[in-house]
Structure 1
């Protein structure tokens, strides 16, 4: 199909005999070809376009190579034009074919009309994007924020617009309400209303959702990923040109982010310092702390619980999106957004390794914490996971340091007992909170070893027998109930009981031994050794 398309092609780099097969052909009329790039694509461009590249030529060629492009055909625009310095060496090193041609393409070829139209569309997209960018910059200079930008983009691009956080939580929206409802009901958003940032439906780019199109662009400032700009339209078919225009609009949205970051950075530092002093018992008198907290919009003149959120250890992925802001800061912002409607007076601050939240207590505090956690975790969307510890209620600010320690203890033990993503309340810890006060962990391990003997071994049989012992103790040695819970025959359970007493001693007749065995099992659970 491409035979005869290129006029007098001359290979200057790479080996066309072993290159990727050409499945599509496209022109590159603008320096940023990203929205139009497809795997197996032969790109046709000119030296005047290459000379306008913002990125170095080696980075540009590497991007084409990573994108599985088949090759690059370049027209020398005049008799003295030449390829950018280092282009041939870099293409040769990558094994990426580069061909020099006398003209962009033959006007007699069957593809000529389509390629000429694509060239015109790309050029038109540049002028449209420039007009929209100037319009949006004027809005920002006049003090406009995300709401005003979303409204202007929706109007200019004839669609519904969402602006979200990097993990897909909605910041604002604008556009036709019926289109917004269709977007919310589409596969682009999950059941919690978040953009699916970890899937093909909500990842960066142009997506076809059952015949309706969604365009998603990253909002980045200073190389940091701050969110997503989303366009959806049912009135027309969105295209790669729309993606290009939206990416330019997203760069203006980044100006708003940068402005907000400058304004909030000093205040965030004061908030964090205030909370640190409060958690260390250096906040001052109750009335002073309450008054100071009100300047941040927080209400501490009421019973509150302390909630500590700590990220699970993760290895950040290296996707082709801007680097993200620190994980704790992202999670702190997510919780601040989630709690704003439920408890406007709650304090939420990201510290060095954790997020601390002081929220209103009450009979439903436990449920509200779980609702917040589910809201932030959502149903996917690239959110990093975390563990949560919750304290008992406290009525005065001088009791907050002790409640902070309770929340930290709940978080630590909850992870030991239930895994990394546990949400644990201090009141649920039982005897484990006493065991956590023993600083010498080797003493606890020695106690467990001496009490449980070979049942501490990491074997299938030992785990099985520990589980039997755990249920026996939980049912107060009710053999029939234990057999029912474990789905054993009654006689099988009696045999197992006899075997356990041979190993551990006659615990059915010795309450003190049963207590020791229960504590030893708790110690093993706290060490992450489960039955």
Structure 2
């Protein structure tokens, strides 16, 4: 509830006053009242005050100086200018009239017989009573929401209480604007008609308040004002408290209720995170024991696994995810956000997934429910789901790539450590390869399974490089790398010159010339299948050594 210029004019002191201003100016909110006693009064104003003046302190100012003086008052958003003329001024100065008209400041001209002190007393008492009323309302609302927090009620109860106080529907969204809870499903979906603006009229609030206009398609495309309060807790987890003004606007009392509801939701969120962290730690310990094979007491592990809803008798494969960022300077906040998006996508396609986040990896114990004995089909089913997860992630994130490693399917819980080790090996090999392959299983590693064992021993790896390829590596000319690239592509294309030329974006004869040059340098026999296999292995070794 505001004390406005319109209400001010109902005082008996203004019976014979002259109002100079617009109809809209009557709605201006009066936040205080003061008398001008010096030209630099604007320095001491807080904003929203009504100013009383006889112009005596500024009687010596020129027209330009008086304009500048009025603009400074207007910058402080004064609500009205109450004027009582003395003998120094026969009428309101033209510079004052001009600025007040330009800045939409109402002027109230009083008869000289009306004392300023009577007006100051009545306005101050009115504002004081309003402040007392707000404080009493704040105390009542604060107690109400504090009791809800103590009772450990749900978010739904908090927003239902808020709706009953302000008369408008309330919705909670997560950071991706997915609905967590709402009091009216018709306002869940909306389209922006303008951008959020910071609410500047509400001072000293715990939470920032933003407002904008949106369109609600379920309400026949009706446009209404919307207020949003972002609520962030200790680990930067954020939810949005959104109120839709479909029934009425917002008063100061409404903002008191909104802020107290936001505080209660913040406490709820903090409690949920604390509980979640404890549950996560407990869950991670069980997963670590399962993946390491640290199962000393079968009965104990069975009980603990049951607590996280993992069936020890089920068949499953271990899948390890990691993200590679285009920008190596990515912040820890962005990194955490992207991994959360990835985990949410895994949960979306694999309900109640057994997920463990460790360092820069996400480890999933992926259940196999097919009941088939055909492991190839089961693995294809896992890959199909992984493709959905990755596609959904990449549709939301453009500056990071997903890499996965899939271990072999574990028939019993005792096979999980082996599946985990294999998945980790696949991921390591996948990261070493120059070709981006987001989904790779242990069975697909081929020769890499052997070479991976020596990835840290370059001397051992070099033993597998055939002499013919070594001659090309020793070729000390500027086009050496070009020749190696051509040889790699030639073997990748099953020794098809035309296809190699297409993929290298060069002419057919260029590839033929390069292959002849390679043959001249290395004495390779392209018709010898065993030698070509050795060269392919040697090129794979080069990949590993380059990555290392």
Which SS does the other structure have where 1:349 is aligned?
strand
- Find the counterpart in structure 1 of residue 153 from structure 2: 144
Q: Give the counterpart of 1:180 among 177, 188, 201.
A: 188
- Find the counterpart in structure 2 of residue 307 from structure 1: 319
- Find the counterpart in structure 1 of residue 17 from structure 2: none
Say if 2:319 and 2:406, in contact at 8 Å, map to a contact too: yes
- Give the Cα separation in 1 of the matches to 2:436 and 2:258: 39
Q: Offset at 1:160?
A: 5.3
- Find the counterpart in structure 2 of residue 20 from structure 1: none
- Find the counterpart in structure 2 of residue 36 from structure 1: none
Q: Quick check: 1:504 aligned with 2:477? A: no
- Find the counterpart in structure 2 of residue 225 from structure 1: 236
Q: Offset at 1:358?
A: 0.8
- Give the Cα separation in 1 of the matches to 2:30 and 2:419: 62
Are residues 416 and 146 of structure 1, via their aligned partners in 2, closer, same or farther at CA, if it must alter by over 3 Å? farther
- Give the Cα separation in 1 of the matches to 2:186 and 2:478: 58
Q: Offset at 1:432?
A: 2.1
Say if 1:308 and 1:407, in contact at 8 Å, map to a contact too: yes
Which structure is higher in RCO with an 8 Å CA cutoff and minimum separation 6?
1
Say if 2:497 and 2:511, in contact at 8 Å, map to a contact too: yes
Q: Quick check: 1:393 aligned with 2:409? A: yes
Q: Quick check: 1:270 aligned with 2:286? A: no
Q: Quick check: 1:427 aligned with 2:435? A: no
TM-score of the superposition, structure 1-length normalised? 0.61
Say if 1:73 and 1:100, in contact at 8 Å, map to a contact too: no
RMSD value, Cα: 5.1
- Give the Cα separation in 1 of the matches to 2:349 and 2:227: 31
Instruction: Within 5 Å, give how 1:81-480 maps onto structure 2.
Output: 105=78, 107-108=80-81, 109=100, 110-112=103-105, 135-153=144-162, 156=166, 158-159=168-169, 161-164=171-174, 166=175, 168=176, 170=178, 172-182=180-190, 205-206=210-211, 215-222=227-234, 224-231=235-242, 233=244, 235=246, 249-284=261-296, 289-312=301-324, 315=329, 317=331, 337-340=344-347, 342-361=349-368, 362=378, 363-375=380-392, 379-380=396-397, 387-417=403-433, 422-443=438-459, 446=462, 451=469, 461-480=479-498
Which SS does the other structure have where 1:394 is aligned?
coil
- Give the Cα separation in 2 of the matches to 1:311 and 1:511: 38
Q: Offset at 1:255?
A: 0.7
Q: Offset at 1:509?
A: 3.0
Further displaced range: 446-455 or 213-222? 446-455
Which SS does the other structure have where 1:395 is aligned?
coil
Which SS does the other structure have where 2:313 is aligned?
coil
Deviation readout 1:87-135 (Å, 9 max, x if unpaired): xxxxxxxxxxxx999x984732445469x9xx99x98999988876655
Q: Offset at 1:336?
A: 5.6
Q: Offset at 1:312?
A: 4.3
Deviation readout 1:330-386 (Å, 9 max, x if unpaired): 6776566544454445312233553322121334211212323444565149x9765
Are residues 374 and 489 of structure 1, via their aligned partners in 2, closer, same or farther at CA, if it must alter by over 3 Å? closer
Are residues 130 and 355 of structure 1, via their aligned partners in 2, closer, same or farther at CA, if it must alter by over 3 Å? farther
Bigger-Rg structure (1/2): 2
Equivalent residues, number: 414
- Stretches of structure 1 that go unaligned for 5 or more consecutive residues are 1-26, 31-43, 47-71, 78-98, 189-202, 319-323
